[in-house]
Structure 1
Amino acid sequence: MTNPLLSDWDTPFGLPPFDRITDDDFAPAVDAALAQSRANIAAIADNPDAPDFANTIAALELADAGLNRVLGAFYSLAGADSTPARNALQRDFAPLLSAYSSEISENKALFARIEALWAARDTLDLTAEQQRVLMLTRRGFLRAGALLDGDAAARLRAVKSRLSVLGTQFTQNLLADERDWVMPLGADDLDGLPDFVLATARAAGAEKGLGGPVVTLSRALIVPFLQFSARRDLRQKAYLAWGARGANGGATDNRAIAAETLALRQERAALLGYASFADFKLETEMAGHPAAVRDLLMQVWHPAKAAAEADAAILEQMLHADGQTGPLEPWDWRYYAEKRRRALHDLDEAALKPYLQLDRMIDAAFACANRLFGLDFTPIDGPVYHADVRMWEVTRNGAHVAVFIGDYFARGSKRSGAWCSAMRSQKRLGGDTRPHVINVCNFAKPEAGQPALLSFDDARTLFHEFGHALHQMLSDVTYESISGTSVARDFVELPSQLYEHWLSLPAVLSEFATHADTGAAMPADLLQRMLGAANYDMGFQTVEYVASALVDLGFHDGPAPADPMQKQAEILADIGMPRAIGMRHATPHFAHVFAGDGYSSGYYSYMWSEVMDADAFAAFEEAGDPFDPATAARLEQTVLSSGGSVDAADLYTAFRGRMPGVDALLKGRGLAA
């Protein structure tokens, strides 16, 4: 039978035919696609005609079209609905794809053509976009080792291959630890848990095939358990299990993987002539060098730590008032912070959640995109990889823009966190290709027949990932390599974090925060109390994030540590980490940094972008309307549609007229007057 991955996809909008694809189809499809890609690369490198932009750079842009199509389907499936077979395929594909990438960067004939174009660039009459793609292509070859020969080239190839294997193994180990741990809750274990937490725990128990409520390591369940459980012993047990992901010994322990990864990254940087991996990685980012990153993080660390320590003193008093002895512990913080929030802001999460229905928050995200950018969203049917997946056609003035895919619920087969990716990216080269964009989240799945309810943080996550999706959907470039979110890592979070601001608009919440049972709008006083508490516990949130970012930077800015856990402890001691707060992502489960090198030496990026997003939303406020058409059009033109076609700093300056300072961030977080 014909492999469905290699045949024409006669599906709505050319979506992957998940209803016909089996796991057995992927390996032969990848082999065939790699063979075609290799043939395409050889044809470019061996072309007897003199190099020009079309026969070299544009041809390179199209060389992997078939491979990208197969991998777009596979990695969307593998990340959101893993199986042992898919895990094995990921392990098999990692070295194959790394080897193929190395073949390209080591192809001397191909690089010679690129160098010839670079040398003659001022005479080629290139568009600004073509000049940018040429520069980025050449830079990518140089950073991949195109100038290396002999033993150095061979060693770099081996290092990159091993790193790809380690990143895959790190991810799968973490998923295994998250999937396998469960804490059943008996009748005596439910003290303090509101109905919505119990419903989530029962649904998790049903998914696990158990007869009652359970706590799992899904963030959507363990965080509310830590917030509400009056059983300090169970909070401790759950928190320690959550913190021990990837550090439980045995086959899924990630600590040795982290150490080897850091050593190989440092070796990679040295082979390419950089003093450290951080110097290598940050060269292409807005920050430019490690000192700029550390300066930003420390400007935020000091006021955040002071706020957190002041809060900790109050929470410890509450702990002692409950008859508990000893210091405030990390498994106590969320419980007493929730009690204090109720007292300070008269906010009860159990009363709040029914107003934050998943479907209504999706409607809110769509409605804001309609008012800002004229986008319409129509539900569509088509092949999906899991029954929970939903799809919409995105149009503007009746014209097709994109397909948007939402996969919102946590399950044991899905890796943790939330993310946005493109199964197919926008481009114009080779024909107008519109994107297929997917948001994946891990919200608690409700019991059968009940609506899915979110926390306000969950709703922010939904808006955040949808901001990434808009960056993909509104992309309007010729070349796929600079499409959508293919931008500097410390710029990529700007559209996502900026979009969160619209969720907090009273006008949006008044319309879409409606009660799951009655349909009534959230009462105005409850709405104001919820928004008034937006910066509550911000010291804690900022400290746990900045500590993780500083550890990431410390790992990569200098010699690789032989023992990452010891290095982590030293960094936290140096900055005076409050004892009752843990890192948001400790090393053994720091997937941003070790599941690949996307955010390695780059976890700071969320905060770098936050400096801009606070200032960017101020542009709408200054216009007197959060939906001001002229400001929205300028945002789309300068940022959302441009992808990586222009340097990130230039894009932001084109939108705002200048680069911002850190003051707006501190004020937005309530850490400065």
Structure 2
Amino acid sequence: MFSKIFLLILLPISILFSQENLNNSNPFFVEWDTPFTTPPFDMIETEHFMPAFIEGMKKQKEEINSIINNNEEPSFQNTLEALEISGELLLKVNNVFEHLNSTQNSPEIQKISEEISPLLSAHNDDINLNEKLFQKIKAVHYKRDNLNSEQKRLVEKYYSDFIRGGAGLNNIDKEKFRKINEELSLLSIKFSQNVLAETNSFELVVDDAAELKGLPESALNAAKEAAEKKGYENKYLFTLHAPSYRPIIMYSENRALREKMFKAYLNRGNNNNENDNKEIISKIVSLRFERAKLLGYKSHADYVMSEYMAKNPERVYEFLNKMQEPANKLAARESEQLQEIIEREGNNFKLEPWDWSFYSEKLKKEKFSLDEEELRSYFKLENVLNGVFAVTEKLYGIRFEERKNIIVYHPDVKVFEVKEADGKHIGIIYFDYFPRESKRAGAWMMPFRLQSRVDGKNVTPIVMNCGNLNKPTDDKPSLLTLDEVRTIFHEFGHALHGLFSDVTYPYFSGTRVAWDFVELPSQIMENWAVHPEVLRMFARHYETGEVMPDELIDRIQNAKLFNKGYETLGTYISPALLDLKYHNMTEEKKVDVVEVEAEISRGIIPQIGLRYKSTINSHIFAGGYSAGYYSYIWAEVLDADAFEAFVETSLFDQETAKSFRENILSKGGTEYPL
């Protein structure tokens, strides 16, 4: 299945690494004698990855050739099931590498990523474009009616994937397809590396504490500690990592400082330097369009959405347009309230995007007597995590046990075993919540090992929740904002989707569902995050242990819809429209990032503007959300319907939870979401 060129590349590399393969010094070439066969991070070195990748591709090539050369009539077992279990070593290596690439990035890791990406792209295309393999899949697809429902769906998905992966193209177009995929893989890597480099290169050193008026003591202490670690004595150091950036935007009375930080954050990858992402975006958009056209689609969005619940871009536009006007009107009213505060304080400037968070905090205090710093005192990270555990224990009857005997890749990481009520092992979850220069921004869940039970072999899941929260200081634990509490619950919803998976084939495991369905399990978990009954379970003052007073809980509930126009427009609608603008083009043309953003901005009130600019939007240019960013707000609609079942019974109704687990969380992608 490999092209001759690829074999010529692979052969000398394989020879170079053969000695290491033989002496088993590479931990990827031996069975892991660790609890639940978790990765032995203490044994894995950077130099182990490339030979393991090469060996993994070589083994999968042999497995694919065995399928092709099997003279028996193509069947589900000798074709689809054999294909599904192929590449075990490659997947094992890739999962560890991709996780460390996101959390422990380094120049060495980046170099490997750049080297292996085109090889992996070629390897995957050699499988998807293999005519003999496709003919066998087609034969099984033709006689699939006698299979069980999961097997039948697997055949249909593989058949569709091969068509979408270029199997139906002529030889000339197949070569074009290969080149596009190879280039896209490298461009996505470069995009991510540029964002990380821009984030890490920015430092704001402040000499005079008077310039930092309004910042909470915790933020000042953290900035002072950061400065001392970098050798800046009696100074304050701020970066573009969220725990450092956010307090300035929310609390700094120094408007010029807010503007400087805001623009630095938003313009990462847009500084006309070696880390600029504008040309990369233009190339990615053009290549995605070219690939879609090769496959017979009008646009990349049509190509992507044909496999999603929405089915086509027109339906998504209709969905977003229905919400955009009311969201704009609500956001405009919110901006007027903020402008009133500005003028009441004797200022004569107009509200700008870098003012919004600062004045909305003032308005929140004024209207609801809510102070984010006061709230943070009740949201110690460990307590919030215990709250998540308590909620899921009450809903699903599961238990969590910290496993300090499981090796981690960084001292900040915690690991827990998840068990059924009867003690039966479900899976493992890693928590990595604090920022590092080697770690990408944001919060995410990553399925490290997928649940499956092919041919009677039961594989239990391993998942990871990652974030960038305030790290403990010398005198305070990690204290979270209300939004960060919601984020913890949100990402844990994704984790449950992976942990509760109960499928036969890894293709359908956990979060491997239609992309505009994947956010439902995470969004629904947010409903418990700030519910009064739940807050009483975990929200305790970090110093006194006092449970959050009912009066404060009531104020949180009263403010539930505060800033909703800003959130809906800035967080969901505008980035979704920007995504569609790039990916729904139906004619070949060079994309101008500035022009595209200007066009989308015209539909958004200027006081908000674009909160997620193109050059930092890794979701759509280096992740899985291209032509799919709308899935967040799409899932909010699904979530409202799903949570209604708990409203109609009770917050912790176990029958409702059992139904949600069995019909949504455990099924993965085995059934099409209606």
C-alpha separation between the residues in 1 aligned to 2:231 and 2:117?
Answer: 33
Q: Match for residue 555 of structure 1?
A: 582
Q: Match for residue 477 of structure 1?
A: 503
Residues 1:133 and 2:154 aligned together: yes
Q: Aligned to 1:454, what secondary structure does the other structure show?
A: coil
Question: In 2, are the aligned partners of 1:555 and 1:564 still within 8 Å (CA)?
Answer: no
Task: Summarize deviations over 1:136-185 as a string: whole Å, max 9, x none.
Answer: 01100000000112210000110011000000000000001011111122
1:456 aligned partner, one-letter code:
L
Residues 1:264 and 2:290 aligned together: no
Cα shift at 1:573: 4.6
Question: In 2, are the aligned partners of 1:262 and 1:560 still within 8 Å (CA)?
Answer: no
C-alpha separation between the residues in 2 aligned to 1:73 and 1:555?
Answer: 32
Aligned match for 1:114, one of 133, 137, 158:
137
Question: In 1, are the aligned partners of 2:451 and 2:460 still within 8 Å (CA)?
Answer: yes
Residues 1:195 and 2:217 aligned together: yes
Q: Which moved more, 1:446-455 or 1:627-636?
A: 446-455
Aligned match for 1:218, one of 226, 230, 241:
241
Aligned match for 2:613, one of 583, 586, 593:
586
Q: Match for residue 667 of structure 1?
A: none
Q: Match for residue 571 of structure 1?
A: 599
Unaligned residue ranges in structure 2 (runs of 5+): 1-22
Question: In 1, are the aligned partners of 2:125 and 2:178 still within 8 Å (CA)?
Answer: yes
2:425 aligned partner, one-letter code:
H
Paired residues for 1:98-177 under 5 Å:
98-122=121-145, 125-177=146-198
Q: Match for residue 562 of structure 2?
A: 536
Q: Aligned to 1:393, what secondary structure does the other structure show?
A: strand
Task: Summarize deviations over 1:241-293 as a string: whole Å, max 9, x none.
Answer: 01111111221100000000000000000000001111101000000000111
C-alpha separation between the residues in 2 aligned to 1:156 and 1:344?
Answer: 57
C-alpha separation between the residues in 1 aligned to 2:401 and 2:466?
Answer: 19
C-alpha separation between the residues in 2 aligned to 1:458 and 1:475?
Answer: 26
Question: In 1, are the aligned partners of 2:372 and 2:482 still within 8 Å (CA)?
Answer: no
Residues 1:366 and 2:393 aligned together: no
Q: Match for residue 354 of structure 1?
A: 377
C-alpha separation between the residues in 1 aligned to 2:212 and 2:601?
Answer: 36
1:60 aligned partner, one-letter code:
L
Cα shift at 1:638: 0.6
2:387 aligned partner, one-letter code:
A
1:632 aligned partner, one-letter code:
A
Paired residues for 1:158-557 under 5 Å:
158-186=179-207, 187-206=209-228, 208=230, 210-211=232-233, 212-381=235-404, 382-396=406-420, 397-430=422-455, 431-448=457-474, 450-545=476-571, 546-557=573-584
Calculate the TM-score normalised by the size of structure 1.
0.94
Q: Aligned to 1:392, what secondary structure does the other structure show?
A: strand
C-alpha separation between the residues in 1 aligned to 2:645 and 2:226?
Answer: 43
1:184 aligned partner, one-letter code:
V
C-alpha separation between the residues in 2 aligned to 1:450 and 1:573?
Answer: 41
C-alpha separation between the residues in 1 aligned to 2:501 and 2:115?
Answer: 33
Question: In 1, are the aligned partners of 2:266 and 2:611 still within 8 Å (CA)?
Answer: no
Task: Summarize deviations over 1:584-632 as a string: whole Å, max 9, x none.
Answer: 3111111101014x10011000011111001111111111x11111111
1:485 aligned partner, one-letter code:
T
Cα shift at 1:375: 1.1
Question: In 2, are the aligned partners of 1:418 and 1:441 still within 8 Å (CA)?
Answer: yes
C-alpha separation between the residues in 1 aligned to 2:597 and 2:372?
Answer: 34
Paired residues for 1:13-32 under 5 Å:
13-32=36-55
Question: In 1, are the aligned partners of 2:578 and 2:597 still within 8 Å (CA)?
Answer: no
Q: Aligned to 2:28, what secondary structure does the other structure show?
A: coil
Q: Compared with structure 1, are the counterparts of its residues 616 and 561 closer, same or farther at alpha carbon in structure 2 (3 Å cutoff)?
A: farther
Cα shift at 1:505: 1.6
Task: Summarize deviations over 1:59-104 as a string: whole Å, max 9, x none.
Answer: 1111011111111111111101111111111111211111111000
Calculate the TM-score normalised by the size of structure 2.
0.94
Q: Match for residue 94 of structure 1?
A: 117
Q: Aligned to 1:391, what secondary structure does the other structure show?
A: strand
1:519 aligned partner, one-letter code:
G
Question: In 2, are the aligned partners of 1:202 and 1:447 still within 8 Å (CA)?
Answer: no
Cα shift at 1:205: 3.4
Q: Aligned to 1:423, what secondary structure does the other structure show?
A: strand
Q: Match for residue 5 of structure 2?
A: none
Question: In 2, are the aligned partners of 1:259 and 1:561 still within 8 Å (CA)?
Answer: no
1:168 aligned partner, one-letter code:
I
Question: In 1, are the aligned partners of 2:286 and 2:591 still within 8 Å (CA)?
Answer: no
Task: Summarize deviations over 1:413-458 as a string: whole Å, max 9, x none.
Answer: 1101111011111000141000111000111112135311000100
Q: Match for residue 671 of structure 1?
A: none
Q: Which moved more, 1:339-348 or 1:213-222?
A: 213-222
Paired residues for 1:29-68 under 5 Å:
29-68=52-91
Question: In 2, are the aligned partners of 1:203 and 1:445 still within 8 Å (CA)?
Answer: no
1:273 aligned partner, one-letter code:
G
Residues 1:615 and 2:641 aligned together: yes
C-alpha separation between the residues in 2 aligned to 1:564 and 1:590?
Answer: 16
Q: Aligned to 1:103, what secondary structure does the other structure show?
A: helix
Q: Aligned to 2:376, what secondary structure does the other structure show?
A: helix
Q: Match for residue 643 of structure 1?
A: 668
Q: Aligned to 1:251, what secondary structure does the other structure show?
A: coil
Question: In 1, are the aligned partners of 2:601 and 2:610 still within 8 Å (CA)?
Answer: no
Q: Compared with structure 1, are the counterparts of its residues 299 and 200 closer, same or farther at alpha carbon in structure 2 (3 Å cutoff)?
A: farther
Cα shift at 1:209: 5.1
Percent of residue pairs bearing the same amino acid type: 38
C-alpha separation between the residues in 2 aligned to 1:26 and 1:318?
Answer: 56
Unaligned residue ranges in structure 1 (runs of 5+): 650-673
Cα shift at 1:295: 1.1
Q: Compared with structure 1, are the counterparts of its residues 638 and 560 closer, same or farther at alpha carbon in structure 2 (3 Å cutoff)?
A: farther
Q: Which moved more, 1:265-274 or 1:550-559?
A: 550-559
Q: Aligned to 1:443, what secondary structure does the other structure show?
A: coil
